[in-house]
Structure 1
Amino acid sequence: MSSNTAIYRTSIGHVRQTPLRNTFTYRSYSWYVDVDSLPRLPRWLAPLAGFSAADHLGDPAGTLRGNVEAYLATQGITLDGGRITMLAGARVFGHVFNPLSLFWCHDADGALRCVVAEVHNTYGERHCYLLETDAAGRATVPKAFYVSPFNDVDGRYRMKLPEPAERLAVSIVLERDGQKPFVATMDGVRSEATVPNVLAAALAVPLAPLRVAVQIRWQGIKLWARRLPVIKRPHHPSQEAVQ
């Protein structure tokens, strides 16, 4: 596999403080790849890590690079062939679910131009946030997408999305006037994407995409049982070059 490919064994945490307190943490793992050099696993290992443009923004029959560039073009951004890296979960035994996929987009000189944060909800919808981050990977953007049945679309996200190195440290804080913030974090340590490390990650978190989807729904059931009000899902307009 490409030397640009890595696996991060992750710890993902959520802290809700308003109107009631709820915290949870779960383990998973993510792949960090160059979209022009996607991993090619041995045939016997291939069911543990599939990568497809159809699992992300844009034309399902296209390529990851082509689809990211098409979206950026709608925002007036051209990379001129610069490198695009992605942090996401792979398809495992035919299943995939990425609450968050991140694309770091560089220009032809190698400088980071922007970050695309692609968010999926459990209703099969997706939304992309375009972020022009500072030197520490920080940016703020208005919330525009319904993710949880217990959060409306008000507020703003304060994100910290530095490109992964030996460690991964991503945080997203949802802020609303007069309320305490909702905080989501993802931390991990880089390992080479060798066959032993792929197997170790898959064994540590079997069927990771299904587990993530189940854990999110289970937290929702617990919040519903605690009588947290459910907020009706609004219509989500398609974004150009995203859906």
Structure 2
Amino acid sequence: MVSALSRSEIALPAIVPGWVAHTRRLPRRQRFRYRTYQWLVDIDELPTMRPFASFRPADHLNGGERSLRENLTAFVTAQDEVLEPDDQVLMLANARCFGYVFDPLSVYWCFASDGSLRWVVLEVHNTYGERHPYLAHPTADGRFTVEKAFYVSPFFTVEGMYEVVLDLTPDRVAVAINLRQNSTRAFSATFTGNPRPASRRTVLAVAARTPFVTHQISLLIRLHGIALWLRRLPVVHRPPHLPPQGA
């Protein structure tokens, strides 16, 4: 449930320890699950806790020297949406850890001053250094679909639909994405975690349990790609990336 969320309900910034699971169904079945954690932050109050966490606007959206709010405003305005000065935007993302970040998916929730949800943005990153944001308007239970428009896995074409379910409550943060191609669910990815106030003690605890977290994510993605290639899964040609307007 993501509608009518009060700004005061979740203590920010928050650490969200949890699990990521991927299930590939076509053309070869493969599944993996691993422990990780992400950050849930207000984009106007980005925390810094080096070397375990720092955030740079250049790692997201348009990049460059502008703030995250400025970059997000440019993108949503180009999509005929609004980000008002008193709107609050929460971002679920990976922080830079020991100077490195790889963030396969960042999620932005935009809340009006009355707590109602205006829109969400999913920002997908691939291992080729490219990024692509999608803007959507979820239903009251956090569901929406968007057309796939970005090359992510070298084993999937740029076609099909993403079926997305988001959950953002004081006790649970979850993102579930199904890729449907030719009326078949080809791939699923989920993240599920429980937000906790990001005290130094909590940050040190999750960092001790999952050290070098973003390095781990990048390495695992590449290792699973190599495993699929060794199973003779055909590699799909990567077309030139055309970012949406404002990105």
Report the TM-score when normalising by structure 1.
Answer: 0.94
Matches within 5 A, 1:69-148: 69-81=73-85, 82-148=87-153
Which residue of the partner structure matches residue 31 of structure 1? 39
Query: Amino acid of the residue matched to residue 64 of structure 1?
Result: L
The AA in structure 2 aligned to 1:73 is: T
Q: Secondary structure at the match of 1:141?
A: strand
In structure 2, what is the equivalent of residue 184 of structure 1? 189
| Residue 54 (str. 1) matches residue 62 (str. 2) | no
Which deviates more, 171-180 or 187-196? Answer: 171-180
Amino acid at match of 1:170: V
- For residue 241 of structure 1, report the CA deviation from its aligned partner: 2.8
| SS at structure 1 position matched to 2:26 | coil
Query: Structure 2 CA distance, aligned partners of 1:163 and 1:180?
Result: 24
1:113-148 deviations in whole A, cap 9, x for unaligned?
111000000000000011100011100011000000
Q: After superposition, give the CA deviation of every residue in 1:147-192 in whole Å (9 maximum; x if it has no partner).
A: 0000011110000112243112210000012534311010111211
Q: CA deviation at 1:92?
A: 0.7
Matched pairs, number = 237
**Letter of the structure 1 residue corresponding to residue 137 of structure 2:** E
Give the one of 47, 62, 69 matched to 1:65: 69
After the TM superposition, which residues 154-173 of structure 1 pair with which residues of structure 2 at under 5 Å, given as runs? 154-173=159-178
One-letter code aligned to 1:18? L
- For the pair 1:20 / 2:33, whether they are aligned, the reply is no
* Structure 1 residue runs without a partner (length 5+): none
Output the CA distance in 1 between the equivalents of 2:150 and 2:182. Answer: 18
Separation in 1, partners of 2:236, 2:244: 23
Aligned equivalents of 1:157, 1:179: Cα separation in 2: 11
Give the conservation status (yes or no) of the 8 Å contact 2:12–2:197: no
Percent identity for Structure 1 against Structure 2: 45
Which contiguous aligned blocks of 4+ residues in structure 1 show a shift greater than 6 angstroms? none
